[in-house]
Amino acid sequence: IHRGRPRAAMAPPPPPEGREPPPLQYSLLLQYLVGERRQPRAWDPAALGGIPSPPKSEEQKMVERVMESCAFKTALACVGGFVLGGAFGVFTAGIDTNVGFDPKDPYRTPTAKEVLKDMGQRGVSYAKNFAIVGAMFSCTECLVETYRGKSDWKNSVISGCITGGAIGFRAGLKAGVIGCGGFAAFSAAIDYYLR
């Protein structure tokens, strides 16, 4: 209960002579606040108290252009494929029970030097194959993305088909078609899993 003198209610000012105030349209107001006519805000970290970043120098821009180029991506994929393939080759050679054995003399126990030599040969062979496939896939994906102007799952499927088809085409047309389909499906699955 309010004690004392009651407060005077604040009345809106009277409209000018001959004019009625426009009615307040809440639906129009809501369109500007949360509807179709709402203006997006430009996100500025400096306005929120963030650390402003200085403008990039020409050297930084040049490094960014080099790192986003197809040649750099291809070289990076080639080196990564070589390392991954070498590790995979050495691993599979390590668990293979026939490494180092001579087919002419199956009862002779191989020496450690022969086993390591076979492991190294298999590692180098896998490394070369992985490097070639990685470079081909990365190069075609970059070129397809540049041509299409979009970065989505279709780029990896198209480049997977081109890479698989090119690898399989050496064994014939049927192998090329199977390689295209298989590599495209594998690329789509990997892209779906990573995204």
* Segments making up each domain of the chain, as ranges: 65-99+108-150, 152-194
b (16+ CB within 10 A) / e for 59-93? eeeeeeeeeeeeeebbeebbeebbeebbebbbeeb
CA distances from residue 159 to 22, 72, 182, 190 in whole angstroms, order as listed: 62, 17, 12, 13
pLDDT at res. 38: 74
Alpha-carbon distance 29 to 195, whole Å?
A: 39
Alpha-carbon distance 34 to 28, whole Å?
A: 10
pLDDT tens by residue, 108-128? 787 888 888 888 999 999 999
Place of tokens 């298999």: 122
pLDDT tens by residue, 29-61? 777 777 777 777 666 655 565 666 778 888 888
- C-alpha closest to that of 160 among 123, 122, 124, 134: 134
pLDDT tens by residue, 83-109? 999 999 999 888 887 777 777 777 778
